[in-house]
Amino acid sequence: MTLFLRLFLFALVLLLSTDRVCAETSGWVKASHLKAQLVSDHQDLTPGQTFKLALHFIPDEHWHTYWQNPGDSGLATSIEWVLPDGVTAGAIQWPAPMAISVPPLVNYGFEGPTLLVSDLSIPADFKNSLLAIKAKVDWLVCKEVCIPAEASFELNLPVTQTAIEARDYKQLFEQASQQQPKMVALQGRYDVQNQKFSAAVQMPEDLKVSAFFVSAPELVDHAAPQQIEWVNGELLLRQQKNTYFSQAPERFDLVLNTLAGPVVLQLQHEGVPVASKLSLAEFSLLDWLGMLLLAAVGGLILNLMPCVFPVLSLKALSVANGQNSTRQGKAEALWYSAGVIISFVLLAAVLLVFRAAGQAAGWGFQLQNPLIVGLLAYLLFILGLSLSGVIQLGSGWMNSGQQLTQQQGYKGSFFTGVLAVVVASPCTAPFMGTALGYAATQPALAALVIFAALGVGMASPFLLIAWWPGFAALLPKPGLWMEQLKQWLAYPLYLSAVWLLWVYGRQQGLDAMALALVGLVLVSAACWLWGRKQLQQAGQVSSLIALLLVAGSIALLWYPQPAEQQIAKTDHAEVWSEQRLKQLVQEGKPVLVNMTADWCITCLVNERVALDTDSSKAAMALYNLTYLKGDWTNKDPAISAYLRQFQRDGVPLYVLYWPGQPPEILPQILTPDSLRQALEQLSSKQPLITSQ
């Protein structure tokens, strides 16, 4: 009997001790190519205590899980806690990651045993004798293939008057501490400019840094080379910006691999781009001079754009009429050039101010405002009526219009340049888009000079006419033909007004466009009455009625913005979205992105000539290409952010995505064969593999 009692007591003690050990761990949960358990660093807890829990992963050999920033692909492990009232869980304390190369991608994660530690805190007034902990964990384990999984873990820990460590797992938590990067009291800042992530950290040079890891996802191109150097006592880090970069976080963790082991610190965003050490380090004088040349050439070609030529032809007519006065012609050419250059610089300044305030503004942004579009349509229509002889614009509020159509004068020359820039900005000529995108990433002064170069290029033909007798001699002699030419030049202005009203209709809808057309009739009546008064065939009442008609026409433009804006879509195009593009790229499908706007003449011509043709549709079908079309007619911050990814501040932008290849930017001026040739070239480099 005594022997039996001893055996019973021994078995009971053994059972209790086993339960005690098991209480510190949830036990192993097995999944495909990985097993996991939840472990506590204490076997007994006490109220008011903070303790640690570790999610312990052991994947199969050569399989890996992911860091908080998984890199180019993958999925970070997540833990969803279910805890009693008052008990709180901190964020995951991530180990230092490793770079996992899966060409052409690079991921961040962990191979081998991994410990993800979290701190849990018990309130001082906790009354229960048992702390019930539940955790739902989602993870992704990968090798050549990736397998998502989830599991639930439970722990029940006694709450007593004395906290007792779990001695059996002490070494495990020491290992977890060794895997985690050491927090260092270093100051760091970063910025994203010139298509690059740049960071500066004040740290001693003897801490040799071999690699760095940013915890913010979609910030850097993880597969791009890392640039690490010391300049004036600062560690400078650079890497190419991520294709899907959209917004710079205010701060995030940066892990550095040093000779003494991994360390972690926080990087603070620089804020508004300024001419700081970082931006100056990125500024290249040679690149800037090259962009000045491109800007000047783009401005020169801008004179030939269909939305610019009607206004510029008015100035050419004025120069021809006054060519006998060489001195006056030179002065007018200078005033015209001043109007062009100052307008370009002012528009650039407005754009930079909007950017500083966090607005997503881009080139041509003034035509994203329907009211401005409508007013420009009215203005061009009035100028057309003036050329047709309905009205002779006086020296009042439309003095600039008078100088534009008939008379010479410095003020008229200046405002001719102003109007030319206003209607020219939607037409992004070849070479011009690259220069504008580059300017948007530079310090303010460098950017303003690039915009001034655009103005110089645009004004150069009239400077040559006025200052080089050889050009002036090519102009015909003044005569009766000028009156007939003046009347013919009214029709391009009418057509430009029609185009602007079409843009207005696309922005506001058919009802709003109908009201704008009524406003155009009111403008016509007002101009007719004003013309009769100028001929002394009507009195002051006619002038008052004319002003009321103009006011009424402007009031008709105050039409509420439609709740759902129209989006560019064709029978072979989908509406662009960042999520849809990302999904298609991850699925390994070819994609063509077309960023367009109804106020962009170049965009519309390209679509008609090169993208909406039967041959291009056949090429898209042959290569199983998905065509995504983004409409920037109205302001869209998502499209503005996408344009900035490719150093562009205006449309058109055509980007071709091919599996296994970096995104390829197509020319701004497309030919009927541009798309087919690009697809053939990419296919020859990387044949498309499709699943059967």
Indicate if 600 and 620 belong to the same structural domain: yes
pLDDT digits (tens, 9 = 90+) for 84-97: 999 999 999 999 99
CA–CA dist 435, 455 (Å, integer):
13
CA–CA dist 566, 418 (Å, integer):
31
| pLDDT value of position 413 | 72
Of the candidates 111, 145, 162, which is a domain's last residue?
162
Q: Strand order of the sheet with strand 34-40?
A: 29-31, 34-40, 50-59, 114-121, 88-89
User: How many CA atoms lie within 13 Å of 672's alpha carbon, on the beta-carbon side?
Assistant: 5
Indicate if 359 and 342 belong to the same structural domain: yes
Taking alpha carbons only, the member of 592, 657, 659, 667 closest to residue 243 is 657
Hey, what are 475's tokens? 């102009």
pLDDT digits (tens, 9 = 90+) for 523-571: 888 888 877 777 776 666 666 777 777 777 777 777 665 544 444 445 6
CA–CA dist 27, 293 (Å, integer):
69
CATH number of the domain residue 245 falls in = 2.60.40
CA–CA dist 10, 355 (Å, integer):
77
Instruction: Choose between 374 and 80: higher pLDDT.
Output: 80
DSSP-H helix ranges across 303-325 = 309-321
Of the candidates 230, 259, 281, which is a domain's last residue?
281
Q: Is residue 14 part of a domain?
A: no
All residues at 6 or more sequence positions from 456 whose CB lies less than 8 Å from its CB, including other chains? 296, 299, 337, 341
CA–CA dist 273, 356 (Å, integer):
8
Indicate if 355 and 468 belong to the same structural domain: yes
Give the relative orientation of helices 309-321 and 490-508 as an angle to the nearest 10 degrees. 160
pLDDT exceeds 60 at position 396: no
pLDDT digits (tens, 9 = 90+) for 35-51: 999 999 999 999 999 99
| pLDDT value of position 374 | 80
Q: In residues, how long is the chain?
A: 692
Indicate if 277 and 287 belong to the same structural domain: no
Domain that holds residue 662: 574-685
Give the relative orientation of helices 540-555 and 370-387 as an angle to the nearest 10 degrees. 140
Residues of the chain with pLDDT > 90: what percent?
22
pLDDT digits (tens, 9 = 90+) for 412-445: 677 777 777 765 555 544 445 555 655 655 667 7
Q: Is residue 340 part of a domain?
A: yes
**H or E element that contains 206:** none
User: Rounded mean pLDDT of the chain?
Assistant: 77
Q: Is residue 536 part of a domain?
A: no
Indicate if 623 and 480 belong to the same structural domain: no
Instruction: Choose between 279 and 581: higher pLDDT.
Output: 581
Indicate if 67 and 158 belong to the same structural domain: yes
Q: Is residue 380 part of a domain?
A: no
Indicate if 233 and 222 belong to the same structural domain: yes
Hey, what are 456's tokens? 């110089």
Q: Is residue 175 part of a domain?
A: no
Indicate if 291 and 240 belong to the same structural domain: no
**Which of 355-359, 428-432, 583-587 has the largest mean confidence?**
583-587
What is the CB neighbour count within 10 angstroms for residue 259?
A: 9
| pLDDT value of position 20 | 40
Number of domains in the chain: 4
Q: Is residue 399 part of a domain?
A: yes
CA–CA dist 487, 132 (Å, integer):
88
**Which of 103-107, 412-416, 587-591 has the largest mean confidence?**
587-591
Phi then psi dihedrals of residue 69, to 5 deg: -105, 105
pLDDT exceeds 50 at position 280: no
Q: Is residue 363 part of a domain?
A: yes
Instruction: Choose between 298 and 49: higher pLDDT.
Output: 49
CATH number of the domain residue 644 falls in = 3.40.30.10
Indicate if 198 and 157 belong to the same structural domain: no
CATH number of the domain residue 61 falls in = 2.60.40.1250
Q: Is residue 598 part of a domain?
A: yes
pLDDT exceeds 70 at position 197: yes
| pLDDT value of position 101 | 84
CA–CA dist 106, 220 (Å, integer):
11
Residue 234 near residue 276 (C-beta atoms within 8 A)? no
Indicate if 240 and 298 belong to the same structural domain: no
| pLDDT value of position 470 | 65
Phi then psi dihedrals of residue 353, to 5 deg: -65, -45
Indicate if 309 and 361 belong to the same structural domain: yes
Residue 391 near residue 535 (C-beta atoms within 8 A)? no
CA–CA dist 228, 254 (Å, integer):
14
Of the candidates 489, 517, 540, which is a domain's last residue?
489
Indicate if 244 and 322 belong to the same structural domain: no
CA–CA dist 168, 237 (Å, integer):
42
| Whole-model pTM over 0.75 | no
| pLDDT value of position 273 | 36
CA–CA dist 378, 401 (Å, integer):
12
